[in-house]
Amino acid sequence: MNQQLTACSVVSGNAALMAGELRGVTCLLISEWFMNYLAHIYLSGDSDEIILGNFIGDYVKGAQYRQYPERVAYGILLHRSIDSFTDRHAGVKECTALLKPGFGRYAGVVADVFFDHFLAANWGEYSSCTLKQFSRHAHAVFLSNFMLLPFRVKQFLPFLIQHKRLESYAKSENLHQVLEIMSRRTSLPPNSEWAMQVLREEYSRFDALFRSFFAELIHYVESEFEVRIDRPVQVR
């Protein structure tokens, strides 16, 4: 969706990541672990096959999607369309512009992290199940289809599950940890303090932009791809 982060070398043993210890994990996997999976999985609706395809979409290039079962391939193509819609959206561009002074071409990466925060923090407005229930179901889908996952996804999936990555962004304090880790282990500029200051100062603005953008994205996915998203009645 956005400018990819350049990976550095292998993380030394015993490097603490969030609350746990990761040994021998490449920095590339760390950066991939922090990508905005929550929104993509949510926008897959109630189809486990589409959930799987949307989750692995960044790791299936070109016509490789044809190698997957039909509904999984559909999810991969949905992932690409979501990315294209997001990159074109004026609200996303406005959020990215707010972060460009500190992150340049990587501003979109930080915007993605912020957007997953707003989705997780307001989860009750978007889903009829809890975020924990949603995450557990997604984990079950990934594990039951483990042999279909691209190799790189197989590598980072255990850490995504162990550290409850899909739930972690609900708390804004976790965002600072995420940006700190990414800046140390990837090419993301080391401006996490500045990013959090911008988020605090412009929280209402980011929130409003996210809500407007995400409502349009939900409509786009449901109308163009016939995806059924189970939402509370009040946000329909």
User: Phi/psi of residue 10, each to 5°?
Assistant: -70, 140
Q: Round to whole Å and give the CA distance between 228 and 224.
A: 11
Q: Taking the complete model, does pTM exceed 0.75, yes or no?
A: yes
Domain ranges of the chain: 15-235
Q: How many residues in the chain?
A: 236
* Full pLDDT tens readout for the chain, 236 residues: 555 554 433 333 333 444 343 444 445 555 565 678 999 999 999 999 999 999 999 999 999 999 999 999 999 999 999 999 999 999 999 999 999 999 999 999 999 999 999 999 999 999 999 999 999 999 999 999 999 999 999 988 998 898 898 999 999 889 998 898 888 888 889 999 999 999 999 999 999 999 999 999 999 999 999 999 988 876 44
Per DSSP, the three-state class of 14 is coil
Q: Round to whole Å and give the CA distance between 148 and 70.
A: 13
* Each residue's pLDDT tens digit, 40-63: 999 999 999 999 999 999 999 999
Q: Where are the beta strands (DSSP E) in the chain?
A: 15-17, 20-22
Tokens describing residue 26 = 């490449």
- Looking at residue 186, its pLDDT comes to 82
Q: Round to whole Å and give the CA distance between 143 and 88.
A: 33
* β-strand partners of 222: none
* β-strand partners of 185: none
The sign of the CA dihedral 64, 88, 49, 59 is positive
Q: Round to whole Å and give the CA distance between 30 and 41.
A: 19
- Looking at residue 9, its pLDDT comes to 31
Q: Round to whole Å and give the CA distance between 233 and 236.
A: 6
CB of 116 within 8 A of CB of 169?
A: yes
Tell me what percent of the chain is helix, strand and coil, each rounded to the nearest 5. Answer: 70, 5, 25
How many beta carbons lie within 10 A of that of residue 143, not counting itself? 12
